[in-house]
Structure 1
Amino acid sequence: MEAVRLLHTADWHLGKVLKGVDRTSEIGEALKTLLEMVAKEGVDLVVVSGDLFDRPQVSAEAEAMAVEFFLRLRELGVPALVIAGNHDPKERLEALAPLFALAGAAVRGRPLFREEGGVVEVGGLRAALLPFVSERILVKKVLQEAEERHRTYAEAMRRILANLESPLMLGHFALEGVRPGAGEFVFHLTGSYAVPPSTLPLGARYVALGHIHRQQQVSEAPVAWYAGSLIQLDFGEGEEAERGALLVEVPERGPVRVHPIRERWGKPLKTLHLKPKELDGRLPELERFPGYLRVVVEGRLSPAVKERLFQGLPHLLAVETAGGPEDGGNGTLAPELGLVEAYDRYLKERGREEEGLLERFNQVLKEVELEALAPGA
């Protein structure tokens, strides 16, 4: 068998809205380029390692863009493997799996053991599909005995990965020591969710990972990479951070060859830290910037000046202050926190981070979100 040529992608985040701006069209342009690469490079298989979508309920445009991508792949005669990430609507992906199958894409929204269908064969290559799974669900699925429930997420991951060991493995989880892109959901990167690289089965030829937005290799034996996000998704993600996709050659024997495709798809995002007296002098530069801007001003800033900036710079998405009354005058900018991050900070300030409250809070929040999205809610 000749080398199988894979296009490894992840973290599309279709439906991403950044401070009121829908980024879906930018992601769509990146997907069009990927389709051109598939045809040009003679790709045999496309893998998507999670987070096709940015949230459980996305626009019709975002869903249509994903379907169109896989239909175009079918026209090219190229199959695809897809797993759900922590942002994806897992139940919806499972429900739509038969339709995706008609387009040549095998989709997994929930974790399955090998004997349940967690390993598939495509083009003569066996592939394991392990979507993102919460700690509570994974431990319950893998560690069946009550006396084992005290064991960790990492231990449960080790067991299910060993069960799924295959030449090609897809996963959506964070490995210890990984360099995040700064736009990921922090709760699912650290603590109990950080998995040691030693859990990766040595029998795998290539492990195609998603979840981390910065493209990087994280293991040599087995060869494991994060593909990175397609575009710069958030202001916290550095402009120069590697992202894009990976062209991977998996021969029957011999070393796996990985060719990073590092592109600057989508509009760039820039954060500028300025003093009030510098604003007028920097306006011409800001007007020429081709992407979206976030301006952090040192000290106080009147509402009138903020309004003038927004009116003069249509691509300005945020004006924030640092070192003024808004942040207590300590010179640091308080980031916008989600509910989980805010509760995490609250617990740490009170010395209660070891009580398991954050995990339970996160689970309740997820259940509420799913209930709110359920039909008839």
Structure 2
Amino acid sequence: MRVLHTSDWHVGRTFHGRDLLGDQEAVLTGLADLVVEERVDVVVVAGDLYDRAVPSGEAVQTCVRVLSAIRRAGARLVITSGNHDSAARVGAFGEFAAAGGLHLRTSPTELHEPVLLDDEHGPVAFYGIPYLEPDPARQALRARTDVPGACAEVPRGHTGVLTEAMNRVRADLATRPGARSVVLAHAFVTGGTGSDSERTIAVGGVEQVPGAVFDGVDYAALGHLHGAQRLAEHLRYSGSPLAYSFSEAAHRKSVWLVDLDADGLAEVRRRELPVPRPLAAIEGELAALLDAPEHDAVTDHYLSVTLTDEVRPLDPMRRLQERFPHAVHLEWKPAGGRATAELRYAEITRGRDDHELAAGFVADCRGSDPGDGERALLAEALRTASSAEVAR
């Protein structure tokens, strides 16, 4: 059996205010072509199908079109929910969807119940472990002590609930001699490397769990971290299909193709995904950035710009976007470091009157001291404000 491991689609996400639905649909629909080309039997999505618990109608329709294309290409799908998803919404109508080859696993109380799919060697058991928020998941698992491997007192924390979940998975797997196994899980496993676009899952404690939690299965398809990573031969993150932060500019977005033979895991191969619009970062004074020919190569990139002008330029983003239409992020870090100086509030205000504080604010925002005319305007504004306060 050939399995395509993907995760963290985040359908509906924006990138610094830019709508990504078109890019997401193009890349994700391309998975259907990969299904045909590589003769994929099953596509798994290890959580964060959507970017928010209540996705927009447009995001839902995009997801429906993508999943339909993959199914028409001949692959069955197994999906579990992540920390960005609403498990109840993703899992709605799951029983009906399964009849059409779309298997949704979003309930902690049913994570020990696999999706059983057969190949020429027999059954493969797909166990979907949704994102387990420690306290609610602990309560849900404690309510189901009637299943093999269940412990009446579930330990606290991410490691505790995931250990309990995997104990139940292994106990069920033991009742299925000869079955090979794939686990989908949405978690931060020790040894993985995060990025700026992931929402923290730390809730009153340590968010990471040891990789040994997932011992005893043929393959663990992980989701949550947005960079493709191999933690062990059977333990991998596929990463997100698109870059969702500038910290991912160097990522090579991809999926894993996982082959299972009669004995279990046979081979894992990586297939890179297309990049709809690359990311880049440039730095320098505004005038130089607008004129330098060496930046022609990034005019169509999503761009993060750091300006080093001594004085903050006027309307810099509009001017940048005239040359770089996809500039979406801007920072000002003057060469002298004035904008990044850190002072305590008491140190800034000590011994300074309102006029001096106002002038200092203008200087800090702009990077240069106000002139005599501007100081006079500030003084007049302060007098007007003081008179209005007295009149009350």
**TM-score band, normalised by the shorter chain?**
0.7 to 0.9
Compute the TM-score of the two structures, normalised by the length of structure 1: 0.77
Q: Show the counterpart of 2:242.
A: 231
Distance 1:73 1:32 in 2: 7
Which segment drifts farther, 94-103 or 128-137? 94-103
SS at match of 1:303: coil
For residue 287 of structure 1, report the CA deviation from its aligned partner.
7.2
SS at match of 2:25: helix
Checking the alignment, whether the CA contact within 8 Å between 2:141 and 2:154 is kept in structure 1 is no
Q: Show the counterpart of 1:154.
A: 159
Residue pairs, 1:45-124, within 5 angstroms: 45-98=42-95, 100-113=97-110, 118-123=113-118, 124=123
Distance 1:192 1:30 in 2: 34
Query: Which amino acid is the alignment partner of residue 125 of structure 2?
Result: R
Structure 1 gap ranges (5+):
331-377
Structure 1's 170 and 150: CA in aligned 2 closer, same or farther, altered over 3 A? closer
Q: Show the counterpart of 2:350.
A: none
Query: Which amino acid is the alignment partner of residue 215 of structure 1?
Result: A
SS at match of 1:261: strand
Query: Which amino acid is the alignment partner of residue 182 of structure 2?
Result: L
SS at match of 2:195: coil
Q: Show the counterpart of 2:134.
A: 135
Distance 1:150 1:159 in 2: 8
Checking the alignment, whether the CA contact within 8 Å between 2:132 and 2:162 is kept in structure 1 is no
Query: Which amino acid is the alignment partner of residue 161 of structure 2?
Result: A
Structure 1's 285 and 263: CA in aligned 2 closer, same or farther, altered over 3 A? same
Query: Which amino acid is the alignment partner of residue 268 of structure 2?
Result: V
In the alignment, which of 230, 250, 253 is matched to residue 240 of structure 1? 250
Compute the TM-score of the two structures, normalised by the length of structure 2: 0.74
Distance 1:183 1:164 in 2: 30
For residue 34 of structure 1, report the CA deviation from its aligned partner.
0.8
Checking the alignment, whether the CA contact within 8 Å between 1:28 and 1:65 is kept in structure 2 is yes
Q: Show the counterpart of 1:251.
A: 261
Distance 2:226 2:185 in 1: 14
Query: Which amino acid is the alignment partner of residue 278 of structure 2?
Result: P
Distance 1:60 1:161 in 2: 35
Distance 2:317 2:342 in 1: 19
SS at match of 1:320: strand
For residue 178 of structure 1, report the CA deviation from its aligned partner.
0.6
Q: Show the counterpart of 1:292.
A: 302
Q: Show the counterpart of 1:205.
A: 218
How far does the alpha carbon of each residue in 1:8-40 deviate from its partner, in whole angstroms, 9 at most, with x for none? 111111111112211111111111221001011
Distance 2:168 2:95 in 1: 25
For residue 60 of structure 1, report the CA deviation from its aligned partner.
2.3
For residue 64 of structure 1, report the CA deviation from its aligned partner.
1.3
1:42 aligns with 2:53: no
Checking the alignment, whether the CA contact within 8 Å between 1:15 and 1:23 is kept in structure 2 is yes
Checking the alignment, whether the CA contact within 8 Å between 2:303 and 2:326 is kept in structure 1 is yes
How far does the alpha carbon of each residue in 1:266-292 deviate from its partner, in whole angstroms, 9 at most, with x for none? 211222232445323337625753221
Task: Let me know the Cα RMSD of the aligned residues.
Answer: 2.7
Distance 2:311 2:317 in 1: 11
Checking the alignment, whether the CA contact within 8 Å between 2:52 and 2:84 is kept in structure 1 is yes
Distance 1:65 1:104 in 2: 18
Q: Show the counterpart of 1:8.
A: 5
Distance 1:275 1:240 in 2: 24
For residue 172 of structure 1, report the CA deviation from its aligned partner.
0.6
Structure 2 gap ranges (5+):
146-151, 174-180, 344-392
SS at match of 1:256: strand
Checking the alignment, whether the CA contact within 8 Å between 2:194 and 2:225 is kept in structure 1 is yes
For residue 159 of structure 1, report the CA deviation from its aligned partner.
1.5
Checking the alignment, whether the CA contact within 8 Å between 1:55 and 1:87 is kept in structure 2 is yes
For residue 304 of structure 1, report the CA deviation from its aligned partner.
3.0
Distance 1:98 1:258 in 2: 31
Checking the alignment, whether the CA contact within 8 Å between 1:14 and 1:62 is kept in structure 2 is yes
Checking the alignment, whether the CA contact within 8 Å between 1:49 and 1:209 is kept in structure 2 is yes
How far does the alpha carbon of each residue in 1:44-76 deviate from its partner, in whole angstroms, 9 at most, with x for none? 111111111111233322211211222223333
Which segment drifts farther, 311-320 or 243-252? 311-320
For residue 207 of structure 1, report the CA deviation from its aligned partner.
0.6
Checking the alignment, whether the CA contact within 8 Å between 2:83 and 2:201 is kept in structure 1 is no
Distance 2:68 2:94 in 1: 14
Q: Show the counterpart of 1:278.
A: 288
Distance 2:213 2:98 in 1: 30
Query: Which amino acid is the alignment partner of residue 186 of structure 2?
Result: H
Distance 1:236 1:276 in 2: 23
SS at match of 1:257: strand
1:177 aligns with 2:197: no
How far does the alpha carbon of each residue in 1:62-113 deviate from its partner, in whole angstroms, 9 at most, with x for none? 2112112222233333211000111112221122424533541111223234
Checking the alignment, whether the CA contact within 8 Å between 2:194 and 2:227 is kept in structure 1 is yes
For residue 243 of structure 1, report the CA deviation from its aligned partner.
2.2
Q: Show the counterpart of 2:169.
A: 164
Q: Show the counterpart of 2:371.
A: none
Distance 2:155 2:259 in 1: 40
Distance 1:326 1:58 in 2: 38
